[in-house]
Each structure stands twice: as structure tokens, then as C-alpha cells.
Amino acid sequence: MQEVKRVHSQRSRRRRRVRSSIRGTGERPRLSVFRSNTHLWVQLIDDARGVTLASASDAESVGEKRITRKTARVERAAFVGQELARQAKAKGIHRAVFDRGQYRYHGLVRAIADGARRQGLTL
């Protein structure tokens, strides 16, 4: 039980440390990433108003391609990043602040950011 508490404490400290220097605004919202063991969620958040401007997940179909559980996780992450960037561009958002949360910037988190960049979102 002590190990679980220690790991949770470390995660929350990392999350607070990363988010202490990041604030999203209306013209440059925060791109927040959440990973579970099975799915990925990303959101564009305007912290000034406390509003989610756009969101995407690999739990839903993305764009014209249907993401299935058989699709590689990194590929799914890139699709999610691309879909969020498409939604942002439709709302006139071209820049965002990347919030990796408690996660290291590699693997799925990096694939999300690269996918968003490929669609023209500046991070």
C-alpha cells in the first residue's frame, strides 16, 4: 500500500510542477493529454475562462479512418493529435501550449504532439 501512495504522490508532484508554468488562453489554449491503460484523450482548454474548446479521443472514430483496438497505439495517438488539430483549425486556433501532464515526452505523448503539428497546429 505504501508503494501505491508513493507512486501517486510522485505523479501528482510531476503534474503540479509541469502545470505550474503552463496557462492556456483563448488564442493559445492548453493542449492537455490524458492516458489510461486502454485509451487516450486530448483537450484544448482555455484556462482563463475554464472552458474546453475541443477534444478528441481514440475511444471514438477519428476522421474518415476508424480506429480499432488492433491499430498500433502510437498510430492511434497520431490520429488523435491530428483530429484535435483539425477541430482547432476549424475554430480558428492555430497555436497551443502543450501540457504533457505527468507523462514523459516520448512514445504516445510525442506521437500526439507530432500528429497535431502535422496538421498545422503550432505547439
Q: How far apart are the first and last CA of the chain?
A: 39
Domain that holds residue 56: 2-118
Q: Hunting for cell 497505439 — which residue is that?
A: 73
Identify whether 39 is part of a domain: yes
Identify whether 93 is part of a domain: yes
Identify whether 123 is part of a domain: no
Per-residue pLDDT of the chain (123 residues; tens, 9 = 90+): 899 999 989 888 888 888 788 888 778 999 999 999 888 999 999 989 999 999 999 887 655 566 666 678 899 999 999 999 999 999 999 999 999 988 899 999 999 999 999 999 998
Distance (Å, rounded) from C-alpha 96 to C-alpha 85? 10
| Collapsed DSSP state (helix, strand, coil) of residue 75 | helix
Query: The domain that contains 15 carries what CATH number?
Result: 3.30.420.100
Distance (Å, rounded) from C-alpha 102 to C-alpha 79? 21
CA 88 vs CA 5, 19, 26: distances in Å: 37, 21, 11
The count of structural domains within the chain is 1
